[in-house]
Amino acid sequence: MKVGQLAYTDVLGLPLLAWGGIASLILLILTFSVGALNRRGVHIIPFNYHKPLAVATLIVAIFHGLMGLLASLGF
């Protein structure tokens, strides 16, 4: 299976590539929120989760970017 076929496979009405972008954005907002809220003294989510969220964001964003790039290049 080519990456382009996988990237544009519909999952719940959206291509897998779109779900990767949505997941990346949600993780980025969540990572930012943990840092910003803890800086203001709101400790709903402990600051210990900031670094693992940042790593997860990076992994999902790299996967999303590579999948989109390889799909557009015809791989």
| 38-66 residue pLDDT tens | 999 999 999 999 999 999 999 999 999 99
Residue 4: per-residue pLDDT = 85
| Whole-number average pLDDT of the chain | 95
% residues pLDDT > 70 (the chain) = 100
Average pLDDT of 30-34?
97
Residue 25: per-residue pLDDT = 98
Q: Enumerate the domain spans of the chain.
A: 3-73
- Are the CB atoms for 8 and 71 separated by under 8 Å? yes
- Are the CB atoms for 3 and 73 separated by under 8 Å? no
Residue 1: per-residue pLDDT = 72
